[in-house]
Amino acid sequence: MSLIRRLITIVWVLTLIVTGVVLYLYNPDSVQLDLIWWQTPPMGLAVLVFSVFLVGLLSGVALALLTRLFGR
């Protein structure tokens, strides 16, 4: 069972890496994100999408950890 979990994890990570590369190659346009209080410098769309994904992933892990530590 451990081997299957590792293989699934490796496939998942490789899928994310390939998706990031494809986004980077096919979306070379620079995008500037305009929030109410802050503007990002112009950056590639792939970098912006991956950054948002990473922030969401880390937030989800932090919330799951807090829920597990402090209960419901």
Please write the tens of the pLDDT for every residue from 3-24: 888 899 899 989 988 887 887 7
Closest by alpha carbon to 31, among 22, 41, 17?
41
**pTM for the structure as a whole:** 0.58
Residue 72 pLDDT level (bands cut at 50, 70, 90): low
- State residue 69 phi and psi, 5-degree precision: -70, -45
User: Residue 45 and residue 49: Cα distance in Å, rounded?
Assistant: 6
Average pLDDT, the chain: 85
